[in-house]
């Protein structure tokens, strides 16, 4: 099978939208890989999984699904039959019975990590200064302006809902651990990747390498696509 027959579905995390994957989409296209960014409502884990499934239904053929940060819980909760491999990018991978909050708060918090609390609508917004301090400290001033301007809040219910049997128990997975991550403790990322038995790529990148290190992210996704195509 040609790698061009394997599609990539890219899933954004909290405080972001599909445009956060734009640099990766461009690079995957250069490899001849069709990529789609799945829009999540960020209103509840089960609703986000349903949204991902709607995107996956539109794609014929095998798919590699990549998730950033919170989206790791979403991609691990799909049951779509066309998903053949998973790629976790500085992502959260709760095991069966765990919630996102269980793994997010598992390790020690970075001194520059923001304090997160919901507003009166039950939505969690990232403080504007946190984008430069912790979310994407390697981003340019222009990138930070855009990230802050387009941020989308995440509902408390997204992080408190326990997951079922995660798909990574039944599909090959890759994990890009971000060694300079100030949002998700790198030690927690290594813990999750090890228990997933994932193929690990560790890089000195921040929490949002899909913006600040797109070549690194693209290379991991391409490796996963090539593995699927070779079967």
Q: What percent of the chain has pLDDT over 70?
A: 100
Taking only the tens place, the pLDDT of each residue in 22-63 is: 999 999 999 999 999 999 999 999 999 999 999 999 999 999
Give the containing element (helix H, strand E) for 145.
Answer: helix 141-149
CB of 41 within 8 A of CB of 48?
yes
Residue 57 burial by CB count (10 A; 0-12/13-18/19+): exposed, middle or buried?
exposed
* The pairing of beta strand 154-155 with beta strand 123-124: antiparallel
Residue 10 contacts residue 39 (beta carbons within 8 Å): no
Q: Domains (ranges, CATH) in the chain? A: 3-229 (3.40.50.1820)
Label residue 90 left, alpha or beta by phi (over 0 means left) and psi (-120 to 50 means alpha): left
**pLDDT single digits (tens) 159-213:** 999 999 999 999 999 999 999 999 999 999 999 999 999 999 999 999 999 999 9
106-143: b (≥16 Cβ within 10 Å) or e: beeebeebbebeeeeeeebbbeeebbbbbbbbbbeeeb
Using CA atoms, how far apart are residues 170 and 84, in angstroms rounded to an integer? 9
């Amino acid at each position: 099978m040609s790698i061009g027959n394997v599609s990539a579905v890219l899933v954004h995390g909290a405080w972001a939208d599909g445009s956060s994957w734009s640099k990766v989409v461009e690079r995957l296209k250069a490899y001849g890989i069709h990529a789609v960014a799945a829009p999540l409502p960020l209103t509840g884990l089960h609703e986000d999984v349903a949204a991902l499934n709607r995107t996956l239904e539109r794609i014929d053929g095998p798919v590699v699904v990549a998730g950033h940060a919170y989206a790791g819980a979403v991609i691990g909760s799909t049951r779509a039959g066309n998903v053949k491999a998973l790629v976790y990018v500085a992502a959260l991978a709760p095991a069966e019975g765990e919630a996102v909050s269980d793994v997010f708060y598992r390790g020690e918090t970075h001194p520059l990590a923001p304090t997160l609390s919901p507003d009166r609508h039950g939505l969690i917004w990232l403080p504007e200064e946190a984008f430069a301090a912790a979310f994407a400290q390697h981003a340019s001033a222009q990138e930070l302006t855009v990230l802050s301007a387009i941020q989308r809040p995440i509902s408390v219910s997204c992080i408190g809902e326990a997951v079922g049997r995660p798909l990574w128990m039944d599909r090959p997975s890759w994990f890009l651990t971000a060694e300079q991550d100030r949002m998700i403790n790198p030690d927690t990322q290594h813990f999750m990747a090890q228990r997933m038995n994932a193929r690990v790529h560790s890089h000195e990148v921040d929490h949002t390498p899909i913006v600040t290190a797109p070549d690194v992210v693209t290379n991991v996704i391409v490796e996963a696509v090539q593995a699927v195509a070779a079967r």
